[in-house]
Amino acid sequence: MLSYGLAFLCHFLLFAEYSLAAPTRLTKARRPEGGKTLALRTRRTYGSRHQKRQLEEGLANDNNIEYNIAVTVGTPNPGTQGQEFLLQLDTGSSDTWLMSVAACEDAIANTPGGCPGGGFDPSLSATFVSLSEGDFEVEYFDNSKASGDWFADIMTLEDGSTLTAVQIGLAQTAVNMNEGLMGVGFRSNEFGDTKYPNIIDDLVDQDLITTPMYSLWLDDLQSSEGTILFGGTDDSKYFDDLYYTPILTNANGVYKEFMVNLDGVGVSGTSVSSDFQTPALLDSGTSLTYLPTTIYTEVLKALPFQPDKSGNIKCDVPTGTVDFVFGTKTISVPFDELAITQSDQTCLFGLVDGGSSGDTTLGDTFLRSAYVVYNLDLLDPEGPQIGIAQSKFS
């Protein structure tokens, strides 16, 4: 498990590469009538006019640091059980990979927290296919990295839906990482020069969902789990209408990351920014929210409390919100959703100075207060978009 400092998986972002675009407002969810939907880990079922079938399943909240999805990989040989794993769900990357048994044993011996997601043993799967040895490699901005081999196998989601021939990385070595990861971003954001169908592509290609899209609902800070819904939206989980805004392309015109325009920041309904617009990354793989130094400083001035030099605050915070503006939609994050418990009296403040370069990453401390729809459909006439609304907490 990464510490809050190391959990900032920035994925080699160069925010200056992204041009600003005018937001677009749509009045309904962009999902074809009758399209398939798929969700993970059944907890409760909600009705919605946006989908014919919806299986509400969830993401396990791991100490407010990350959100994990449970999968089973491989086909058990006679006399063995399927290999189950917890993978960090990451909207900021696009590769799916597992720890090997050897890498897991090393993590158990040398890493606080051990290897909570488990290690994959190819010999226990009757459907394991080796694709290449030594070609898998990922490295993140915080210097955490993993390397090893590529393989293909069956992956079963918790509701029993099965994907065949899924390409997966198998980490033989890992540095500052002790569990695997499921990246649910654009194929263009995969590590390596050779691109391949990733999890989102597989869900569409194997007819489990109709459209390459999903909705993320993390619920509040105290909740033990949230949900991801592949292929649809659930209007019982957000207030008012979804506001859709274009995903920004990089300097080469490529849709690579979930970067959108952030048009303003405020505190308890009062703006602290003027003539402000900056690209912002929506990243479930980042625990905290990072704002440019200039904006972060203005937010601090407007707060009725102040973090200390270590970023800690008293847990008993007053009522109020930090507000994030996207076009005509404002997402308000309550102060108590930004107070992450460290001890009985001390909490970590969920906003961080992102530096003078102006980097803005909206991590889990923001995403818990937002219902976010990630539309990756390159064939959509409107182009890939992010839909966003104020989350309804359970």
**How does pLDDT run across 283-315, given as a tens digit for each residue?**
999 999 999 999 999 999 999 999 999 999 999
CATH topology of domain 38-216: Cathepsin D, subunit A; domain 1 (2.40.70)
- In the predicted model, what is the mean pLDDT of residues 130-147? 90
Name the range with the highest mean pLDDT among 123-127, 353-357, 389-393.
Answer: 389-393
DSSP 8-state class, residue 95 = -
59 bridge partner residues: 226
Contact 185, 94 (CB under 8 A): yes
Q: Which two tokens stand for residue 301?
A: 């001035």
DSSP 8-state class, residue 33 = T
Q: Which two tokens stand for residue 255?
A: 């849709």
Q: Is 159 a catalytic residue?
A: no
Per-residue pLDDT, 359: 78
Report the distance separating Cα 184 and Cα 295, nearest Å. 29
Which has the higher per-residue pLDDT, 23 or 376?
376
Strands of 289-291's sheet, edge to edge? 259-262, 278-282, 361-362, 289-291, 351-353
Q: Residues 153, 234, 283, 359: which is the catalytic one?
A: 283
Report the distance separating Cα 323 and Cα 27, nearest Å. 22
Per-residue pLDDT, 38: 56
Closest CA to 61 of 331, 356, 394: 394
Asked whether residue 21 carries a pLDDT value surpassing 50, the answer given is no
Give CA angle at 216 (278, 244), nearest 5°.
Answer: 50
pLDDT tens-place string over residues 197-256: 999 999 999 989 989 999 999 999 999 999 999 999 999 999 999 999 999 999 999 999
> What's the predicted TM-score (pTM) here?
0.87
Report the distance separating Cα 11 and Cα 247, nearest Å. 17
In three-state secondary structure terms, 75 is: coil
Closest CA to 81 of 90, 73, 93, 89: 73
Burial status of residue 112 (CB atoms within 10 A of its CB: 0-12, 13-18, 19 or more): exposed
Closest CA to 391 of 351, 349, 337: 337
153 bridge partner residues: 166
Burial status of residue 305 (CB atoms within 10 A of its CB: 0-12, 13-18, 19 or more): middle
Do the first three CATH levels of 18-25+236-390 and 38-216 match, i.e. the same topology? yes
- Confidence band (pLDDT; 50, 70, 90) for 28? very low
pLDDT over 70, % of the chain = 85
DSSP 8-state class, residue 247 = P
Per-residue pLDDT, 26: 29
Per-residue pLDDT, 36: 52
Q: Which two tokens stand for residue 234?
A: 């659930």
Contact 53, 35 (CB under 8 A): no
Q: Residues 62, 90, 149, 202: which is the catalytic one?
A: 90
Q: Is 90 a catalytic residue?
A: yes
Per-domain residue ranges of the chain: 18-25+236-390, 38-216
What's the residue count for the chain? Answer: 394
CATH topology of domain 18-25+236-390: Cathepsin D, subunit A; domain 1 (2.40.70)
Which has the higher per-residue pLDDT, 77 or 177?
177
- In DSSP notation, 347-393 reads EEESEEE--TT---EE-HHHHTTEEEEEE--TTSTT-SEEEEEEBPP
Closest CA to 224 of 336, 62, 381, 371: 62
* R_g (Cα) of the chain, nearest Å: 20
